[in-house]
Amino acid sequence: MPPPPISKEETKEKKMLIRTLPLHNPLIIPTEPLTPNSFRPFGSVLTNPAPGLHPSTAAAATSSSSSSSSSALPQGFGAVSANQGTAIQYRALAPPLRDLYAQAPSGRTATPRTTMFVCGARELEPDREGDSGGLFNVQVLERHPYTTQTFVPLSTSSSPSLGSSSPVQYLVIVAPTLSPTSADKDFPVPKDGAGDEDDDDDKDAGASQKLPGPGMPDLSRIRAFLATGSQAVTYGAGTWHAPMAALGPPGSAIDFVVVQFANDEPIEDCQEVALEGGGGGGEGGPRIKVRVLGQGRGEVGSKL
């Protein structure tokens, strides 16, 4: 049987605008390479810890070792030889995903969701003052207070006129959370140490991130990372981040598999803030812009 038709309401992403934040001064921030260490305050980077290590090499070293582990396997990731020596499994690549909806005020139980986002390449403004691929205008930040959210890039797709697909590159834009004010205290967010559905057996994958609380994003410390197709990213529960920003020539897109929990209560699933000046402050208002440097420069800048 074909799936039931999707209602008009179901075609809309469930999120809630909770505040508009004024921007008093323009800010241009550079991109940084995305690495597990640099991104640790905000979540996890999932990437092959030893891309030059072939499974057969690891299997041979393991079979000749008297211990269950081998120096050929990278340490600290729970690496084991698997599938009759044809694979390496990293059992502790990142902290476990988190479902904190047991603390949600609505009492609605969340379910795991595996979806796909097909993200069109974002338009970049010409960088008139710097030698870069262009400037990305940050208009919105959002957080998922009760769940982690993982983006796994699969491939790029292009319009027929573009021919072959371009390399996978995307921006990961995040901000720390400010200490809450009295105006923030009523926003529903979980507390540390209660209602976490992490499996105790997964604790060896690393300690779960400390929850950031109900405060607003610290726009003075916003950061932007340049990610590649060999990297997936997990935003920690409650981490302020921009919606996914794919890079590439006009008409291209990146396919992402997205894994998270949700209960379809907008205020509990996704809280959003608009940046006045970037979205609602007019063309002359101050904005936060990301200067796309490094790997993005040649591929993106040539298309501007």
The CATH class given to the 9-47+97-301 domain equals mainly beta
Count of alpha carbons within 13 angstroms of residue 68, beta-carbon side = 4
| Nearest partner of 113 among 230, 264, 239, 12, judged by Cα | 264
Q: Tell me which amino acid residue 23 is.
A: L
Which pTM does this prediction carry? 0.85
| 12: its two tokens | 């809309």
Within the chain, all domains assigned CATH 2.60.120.480 are found at 9-47+97-301
Those residues whose C-beta lies under 8 Å from the C-beta of residue 60, and which sit 6 or more positions away, are: 85
* Cβ proximity of 169 and 228 under 8 Å: yes
Residues in a beta bridge with 177: 217
| 302: its two tokens | 């040539």
For every one of its 304 residues, what pLDDT tens digit does the chain have, with 9 covering 90 and above?
555 555 555 445 678 999 999 998 999 999 999 999 999 999 999 999 999 999 998 888 777 655 544 568 889 999 999 999 999 999 999 999 999 999 999 999 999 999 999 999 999 999 887 777 899 999 999 999 999 999 999 987 765 555 556 789 999 999 999 999 999 999 999 998 655 554 444 444 445 679 999 999 999 999 999 999 999 999 999 999 999 999 999 999 999 999 999 999 999 999 999 998 744 445 567 899 999 975 444 343 333 2
Q: Tell me which amino acid residue 62 is.
A: T
| 155: its two tokens | 């491939």
Q: Rounded to an integer, what is the distance from CA 6 to the centroid of its chain? A: 27
